[in-house]
């Protein structure tokens, strides 16, 4: 538009026509060409704004994707722990009690008969705090957002608070 406006203005100025009407014509052509130039500038400004907006949208989409991956992994892990954790009771020697175990009963004269409970997930001992944290996560996110949804950012913030 800008180039066309300049070309029209140049052609009007180069016409071999001299009169009051020619001056008025050249003036009108100049006004129209200037208006086209302003329109072109406004279009450039709008295009820049759209480009900046598109860049911002892409940045937010990338943040959502990162949040979905991070939060999705924690949510899936928590759901797996909550869904598969079982409390198991073992008879163990008193000196074999670990931090993962809760002592249920102990008779002082029967050192070999200590009962402990532990959480296990797929046969692996898990600390009670891990199960509790997983339960907190599952409660905090009862419904998983759809892929690419902005709500993943909220889930990420929520899970960050469940640490």
Q: What pLDDT, in 10s, does the model give residues 106-125?
A: 555 555 566 667 888 998 88
Q: How far is CA 34 from CA 22, 40, 50, in A?
A: 18, 10, 24
CA distance 72 to 86: 23
CA distance 84 to 67: 25
- Of 110, 90, 108, 109, the closest CA to residue 100 belongs to 90
Q: How far is CA 81 from CA 8, 108, 128, 143, 156, in A?
A: 74, 35, 11, 17, 19
Quickly state the pLDDT bin for 5 (edges 50, 70, 90).
confident
pLDDT at residue 92, rounded to an integer: 61
**Percentage of residues of the chain with pLDDT beyond 70:** 82
CA distance 54 to 82: 41
Strands 124-126 and 102-105: unpaired
**Residue 39 clears pLDDT 90, i.e. is over it:** yes
pLDDT at residue 147, rounded to an integer: 95
pTM of the model: 0.64
Most confident option among 13-17, 62-66, 111-115 = 62-66
Quickly state the pLDDT bin for 139 (edges 50, 70, 90).
very high
């Amino acid at each position: 538009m800008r180039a066309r406006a300049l070309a029209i203005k140049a052609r009007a100025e180069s016409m071999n026509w001299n009169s009051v009407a020619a001056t008025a014509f050249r003036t009108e052509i100049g006004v129209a060409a200037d208006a086209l130039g302003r329109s072109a500038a406004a279009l450039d400004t709008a295009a820049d704004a759209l480009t900046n907006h598109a860049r911002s949208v892409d940045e937010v989409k990338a943040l959502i994707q990162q949040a979905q991956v991070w939060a999705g992994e924690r949510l899936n892990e928590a759901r797996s722990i909550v869904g598969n954790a079982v409390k198991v009771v073992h008879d163990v020697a008193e000196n074999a009690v670990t931090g993962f175990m809760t002592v249920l009963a102990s008779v002082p004269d029967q050192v070999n008969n200590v009962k402990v409970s532990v959480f296990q997930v797929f046969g692996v001992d898990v600390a009670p705090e891990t199960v509790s944290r997983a339960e907190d996560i599952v409660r905090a996110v009862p419904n998983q957002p759809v892929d690419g949804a902005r709500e993943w950012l909220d889930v990420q913030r929520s899970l960050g608070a469940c640490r």
